[in-house]
Every structure is written in structure tokens, then in C-alpha cells.
Amino acid sequence: MKQLLVFIRKEFFHVFRDKRTLLIMFGLPVAQIVLFGFALTSEVKDITLTVIDNSRDANSQQLIRKIKSSSYFIVNESSIDYNDIANSFKKGTTKCALIFPAGFGNDLQHGGKAQLQIITDGSDPNTAKTVVNYITAITTAYQQEISPSPQLPYTIVPESRMLYNEEGNGSLNFIPGVMALVLMIVCTALTSVSVVREKELGTMEILLVSPFKPLMVLIAKAIPYLILSLANFVLILLLAVFVLDVGIKGSILLLFMESMLFIITCLSFGLMISNTTNSQQTALLLSMMGLMLPTMIFTGFMFPIENMPKIFQLISNIIPSRWYFLIIKSVMLKGLGFEYVWKETLVLLGMTIILLTIALKNFKTRLS
């Protein structure tokens, strides 16, 4: 027992004395969160909107005020010419333009029907679509405001609502994905590298020759990385809550236990890799290339699995992170309890047991 403790302490020394390991361990989650949370968000905020008001009446000014008071746009009421719009799009000084034709208010008051032109930058179709939706929504709301007694008895106003993410917080979906990705990389890569490093150094020979049981070597290697990964998991959660404003709906304990299970899956992966390789580079390459790519593609947080060809959908079933992603999404974002995720948990558990068995079976008590 004392041997195990000393061994674990040694592993911590290795981690805390190696800047690169520390960087991967704790720099990676921060970088990933920032990247996925901010850079890749699909949410639209503070879009520069150029308004050309050729009418300048009460109605147009009211509508502009409405748009200004929403948090989506920075309104730029310039007196630029219609023909200059294309230029400002090219320069990137504006993302969309709203044009009121002359006599807008007049048409609305008397004809009961007025026209508005929205021009958006189609080279960024996602933003363009969102912008059109926002302006349409604001305009519809304004329309109802000024004609409280509708002439038509039946008005159907569609109100779309994004479930579980009503504010359209784009980073939400990424959080479980980033968690799966970071845990996968950190656990697998660091565990496999730490075992293989002993082989390269030649210390593995001494470890094997010692009375310390070979199986204990693996356990002693796994425990520190389990602890560090859990710390990592907490770090990601804290970042999600406090930096990205993502609330945790479900039970934190359940989240923690499920993550622990997934960490053990990754550790088993790492140990499996370290059994078959003898150089740190190969171990790193295998865990990075071999696991990162499938995790990104087949987990479902970047590309919806439902849209993939049948064969890829089948492959995605054997990727552990896919199941973890489903579980975390359900627990964290939907607030569902264990009764809703037990199936996924069982799949993940089964995978873990298989991987761990292979890893332990293949660990050699001798050299090759």
C-alpha cells in the first residue's frame, strides 16, 4: 500500500514538473472552451446595421427605435447613398442594411401596406438568415403594436422557441462536446505517454524487476490521471458556468459519476495504447490522431450524426464519446435524471469493461 502511495506521489511530481504536461492538462480545456464557446458560436449579437431612411416619418423612426432597443444590432443611421451599400459590405463596415422607401409611413397609414428592404451579406448565410429573422420579428411586433384591433379576426402569429436554449446561447451544445474531447485527449494521451516514457527511460525494466506487482504499476499510473482528469472536469464546468453562462440543469452528482465512468474509459484507452507502443511520439500520435478526429466527427457536437451516411452513423455507435456526449447533454442541459440515461450509461460501462480487460490482459509482466 505504501508502495502505491509513493508511486502515485512520483506521478504527481512528473506532472507538476513538466510544463508541457501541465499546459496540455489545463491549458487545453481553457483554449477549447474559448475557441468553441466564443469563436464558433452561432449566436448573433451586436451586428452593425446600416439604416437608410428615405421616408423620415413617425412610423419609420418608431421602428428604428425598436430595432435600436434590441440588443442584437448597432444601428448606424448614415445618410449614405443606396449605391454605396455594396461598397460598405465589401469593406466589411456593415453586415446588413435596412432601407425605408420614401413614403413608408404614408403607405402604412393609408394603403395599409408598406414595404421594407433588408439587404444582408449572403457570404455568411447563417448570420444573414438570423438577421432577417430578427428584423422580421421586430417588425411584426411593431405592426401588432400600432394596430391593436386587427381587421382580420384570425391572426396566426408563429412564435418559434428554441427549447433548452431559449436565449439562443450557441455555446451550449459545445460544452458537452468540449468536455468529451478534452477528457479524451488529456486522459488518453497523458496516460499512454507516461507509461511509454518509463519504457523509453528504461525504468520500466526496474519496475518489472521489483517485487511491486506489474498490475499495480498500471493502477498507480491510472489513479493520478483519474484525479487530474476529474479536476479538469470541474475546471471545464466552472468555465462553462461562469465564463459562458451555461447553467447546469441536472444533478451535479450524476454528472460527476458519469464523467468518472468516461474518464475510466479514456484511461483504459491510454493503457491499451501504451501496451502496444514503445515510443512517446507514437503514443502521442496514436492518441491524438487516432482518437481526436473520431471524437470530433462522430460525437455529434460539430456535425449532426443524423445527417451522415448510414455507414458513418453505424461507426459513431462504437465511439465512446458519442454516448458520453448524449448523457451529458441530457443531464446538464435538459436536467434529466438517471432514469433517462441509464441505457447510454450501460453502453458506456460495457465499453469500459471491454477496454479495461484488454488493457490489463495485454500488460506484460516481462519485456515483449
Partner 1 sequence: MSAVTLDHITKTYDKGKVLAVNDVSLQVEEGELFGLIGPDGAGKTSIFRILTTLLLPDKGTASVRGYDCVKDYKEIRNRIGYMPGKFSLYQDLTVKENLDFFATLFGSTIEENYELIKDIYDQIKPFSDRRAGKLSGGMKQKLALCCALIHKPEVLFLDEPTTGVDVVSRKEFWDMLKHLKQQGITIVVSTPYMDEAVLCERIALIQNGKIMSVDTPDKIMAQFPVKLYAIKADNIYHLLTDLRSMPEIDSSFAFGEYIHITLKDAGADIDTLQRNITQRGHTHVDIKLIHPGIEDSFIRLMNQA
Interacting residues with partner 1 (CB under 8 A) = 2-3, 6-7, 10, 13-14, 17-18, 201-203, 205-212, 365-368
Q: How far is the CB of 346 from partner 1 (least distance, A)?
A: 38
For residue 83, the 8-state DSSP code is G
Q: How far is the CB of 272 from partner 1 (least distance, A)?
A: 22
Helix (H) or strand (E) holding 119: strand 117-120
CB closer to partner 1 out of 14 and 334: 14
CB closer to partner 1 out of 109 and 210: 210
Q: How far is the CB of 213 from partner 1 (least distance, A)?
A: 9
CB closer to partner 1 out of 3 and 140: 3
What string of H, E and C letters represents the secondary structure of 290-333?
Answer: HHHHHHHHHCCCCCCHHHCCHHHHHHHCCCHHHHHHHHHHHHHH
Cα separation, 168 vs 344, in Å, equals: 27
Q: Cα–Cα distances in Å, from 263 out to 1, 137, 233, 285? A: 24, 45, 9, 20
Q: Which three cell numbers stand for residue 335?
A: 436536467
CB closer to partner 1 out of 4 and 297: 4
CB closer to partner 1 out of 147 and 279: 279
Angle between helices 2-17 and 174-201 in degrees, nearest 10? 110
Q: How far is the CB of 160 from partner 1 (least distance, A)?
A: 57
Q: Which three cell numbers stand for residue 357?
A: 480487460
Cα separation, 172 vs 245, in Å, equals: 9
Q: How far is the CB of 196 from partner 1 (least distance, A)?
A: 14
